[in-house]
Structure formats: structure tokens, C-alpha cells
Chain A
């Protein structure tokens, strides 16, 4: 979720062209909530490299390289396509903490460009995930919002030392 309070994204129009073009870079960082929207878990952090504008789809292709931070649990790193006009799968390239040795892929589903995204991770090579990360997910819809407690990062609405 981009709650517009992390100065993100930073659109660097380094191509110096009026249309989105190769050369534009977009560092970003947003907040991350558990799929049941009950707990703030941390943040995403990384870079989108604009590859091409896709006029017939009214959108853009990026190569995205970033991580998902889960507080004391560790992090997951990913790399792959971010298409502003359709879902995509990114590679899970590794992780730390409980995610050490992780591999697999993650499905990126954009709900509201570029403010709300829903991810489904398909993880291999790690132990059982903790229960508080495995709540029943809220189905994606444009109006989804985290619970008030999660948004306010109250202790019962966040994981231990959630990344900020």
C-alpha cells in the first residue's frame, strides 16, 4: 500500500523525454500488510527500471528489483517484470531470517495503479511460515484498506519490530 507518506515513488525522468522512456528510474518504498489486512508487517524497498512505454496498453513495462521486509522475521528479495497494465510473476531470488534459502515466484496483482498491490508468494526451501503471516486473505478490491489497528501500528496490529 502506498499511503503517500514515504515520499514514494521518486520518478527520475533521466531519459529527459516527455513520454516514459528507457532511462527513467523509479526508486520506491511502500508499506506492507499481511494478506488479511490485520497486521502491518513492514515495507517494500527497491527500484523500478522503466524499459518501455506500451501505448496500446496505455501503460509501461518496468524491470523491478526490490525486497519485502518482514520485521524480525527477515526479508524476501525479488526480481522481474512490473507491467502497469496486467498481472505478472516475479522471481523470488532469496531471503534472510525465516526466509533464508527461499526460492520460487510471486504473483503481482495490481488493484489500483500504483497505490494498492496484492501479492501471492509461492515459496519453497524454507520452514513452515508463522501463523500470524498466514491469516485468511481479504480478496483484492479497489476499496481495500488495512484495519485501523494495523494502519496505526498498534502492538496487536503489527508484527514484532515491523520494518519501517
Chain B
């Protein structure tokens, strides 16, 4: 994250007395479900590199497989843009390694805005931490281990973990979610457009009900000049989802 670098002293300050306050017990969580038209299924297939001699195919025949259990698990695609509009104090580059080059020890908490893939609706935010793993001078970039969540307002959130490589696309694991994303599994493709300000994500989600229509769209193709439409950027009511996370 080269945009903001802060040198951090090695002093650690402990807070003194924690504040106590009684908090309201009521939960403000309200899941929203929209019935929507069935979406075309897109199954993710990875292109694999095959090496050396062809291998014998491995087949497993079980006589116990019921006849109605042959369909592959349904995968739903979701497209999201993460844009750093530089108004959230993010990222916070903690140079704890105290070295001049990005090094193991550096930590980068961050939080950016997310928009629907067609850039017409503000959805919420990302929030989490990137752990610098190593600098890759030959690739002019860095490897991070990223642990963060995507917040979708009243719909809930998706928690992810995996590699963030500043020099190429990567896939992160979907660890779980809440709300409509409760019980979700799968992976998400991270495609960086402009480091580190614009990232395009394609989620491949399994194990949840039909996604609400409001989250599905024909995405804008990633390119360096992508911006949210002015109404979404201004969070006008018709250009946001309900209680978009901020």
C-alpha cells in the first residue's frame, strides 16, 4: 500500500481505565430477502497447468450414490468494486518491521467503500488487515496475507482470507458470512485495476439461497478510469442498498 506510509515508533501505549456503559440489548440486524428470478448458473472452472506425462484418470464409483444426487453444487456469481476514495483514513501502513523496504512485520489495516459491479449502487465497505509477507523486487510488488470482510448493509457480511499480491490477480477463500450470507462457502477472485485504489471482485458463492436481485447486475468491465456513478458516490437513497454499511 504505497499511498500512505507512516513510520511507527516502537512505543506501545496501553489504555488506562476502560469505559463502562450499558448498551441497548436490542439487535438492529434485519435481514432482507428478495425473491428473484433464477439466475443462470456459472460454474467456475480453473485452467490448470498439466505437467509431464498424462496421468490415468481417477474414478470413484460408489454404489451408495443416490440417483438424484448427481447435480454439482450451484455457484452464484457476485461482482463488487472496491474503491479507495481516500476519505476513510485508509490504508494505515504500520511499518513495524522498522525496515526501509516493505518487510515481514509490517501490518496494513484498511477499510474502503464497495459498490455493486455496475457501479450504480453503494453497498458498503471492506474492513480488515493485510499482513505483509514479503517484498518481491523482481515483480515490483508485495505479497500480503489478507483477512477482511465485505459488508453489505442489512444483507449481512462475507468474511474472506487469502493472498493479496500487488502484482497479479489472486483467489481468496470465503470463510463464512452472516445474514443472507450465513453458511456461505466458495472463493472470490481479486482483480486489481489501479494499485491500491481500485479492485474488482468476482465472488463464486455456494451454500446460500438465491441472491437478491438488487445485488446482481451486468458488471462494468474493469478499467483504470472506473468510478462510481455520482448518485452512488453521493449515497443518494435510490443509489444505495438499505442501510448500506459506512
Q: Which residues of A pack against B, CB within 8 Å? A: 9-16, 21-23, 25, 47, 49-52, 58, 61, 63, 65, 79-81, 84-94, 103-105, 107, 109-115, 122, 124, 140, 142
Q: Complex: how many Å from CA A50 to CA B15?
A: 14
Q: List 12 A-B contacts (CB under 8 A).
A: A11-B13, A22-B110, A25-B107, A47-B129, A58-B21, A61-B127, A65-B128, A81-B157, A105-B176, A111-B23, A122-B182, A140-B25
Q: Complex: how many Å from CA A154 to CA B92?
A: 45
Q: Closest approach, in angstroms, between the C-beta of B178 and any C-beta of chain A?
A: 4
Q: Closest approach, in angstroms, between the C-beta of A85 and any C-beta of chain B?
A: 6
Q: Closest approach, in angstroms, between the C-beta of A86 and any C-beta of chain B?
A: 5
Please name all residues of chain B whose beta carbon is closer than 8 Å to the beta carbon of A92 when the two chains form the complex. 176
Tell me whether B94 is interfacial, beta carbon within 8 Å.
Answer: yes
Contact A113 B179 (CB under 8 A): no
Contact A113 B23 (CB under 8 A): yes
Contact B183 A87 (CB under 8 A): no
> Which one of B14, B96, B175 contacts A94 once the chains associate, using CB atoms below 8 Å?
B175
Contact B92 A52 (CB under 8 A): no
Q: Which residues of B pack against A, CB within 8 Å? A: 6, 8-9, 12-15, 18-29, 88-92, 94, 96, 107, 109-111, 125, 127-129, 147-149, 151, 156-159, 161, 175-179, 181-183, 185, 207
> Which one of A84, A107, A113 contacts B27 once the chains associate, using CB atoms below 8 Å?
A107
Determine the residue in chain B with the shortest Cβ distance to A64. B149
> Which one of B12, B21, B178 contacts A91 once the chains associate, using CB atoms below 8 Å?
B178
Contact B89 A21 (CB under 8 A): yes
Contact A23 B15 (CB under 8 A): no
Determine the residue in chain A with the shortest Cβ distance to B15. A11
Q: Is the interface of A mostly helix, strand, loop or mixed?
A: strand
Contact A105 B14 (CB under 8 A): no
Please name all residues of chain B whose beta carbon is closer than 8 Å to the beta carbon of A111 when the two chains form the complex. 23, 25
Please name all residues of chain B whose beta carbon is closer than 8 Å to the beta carbon of A140 when the two chains form the complex. 25
Interface centre among B24, B157, B178 (most CB of A within 10 A): B178
Beyond A91-B157, A107-B27, whether A112 also contacts B12 by CB under 8 A is no
Beyond A80-B157, A91-B176, A107-B27, whether A63 also contacts B18 by CB under 8 A is no
Beyond A79-B176, A105-B177, whether A87 also contacts B92 by CB under 8 A is no
Contact B183 A13 (CB under 8 A): no
Please name all residues of chain B whose beta carbon is closer than 8 Å to the beta carbon of A114 when the two chains form the complex. 18
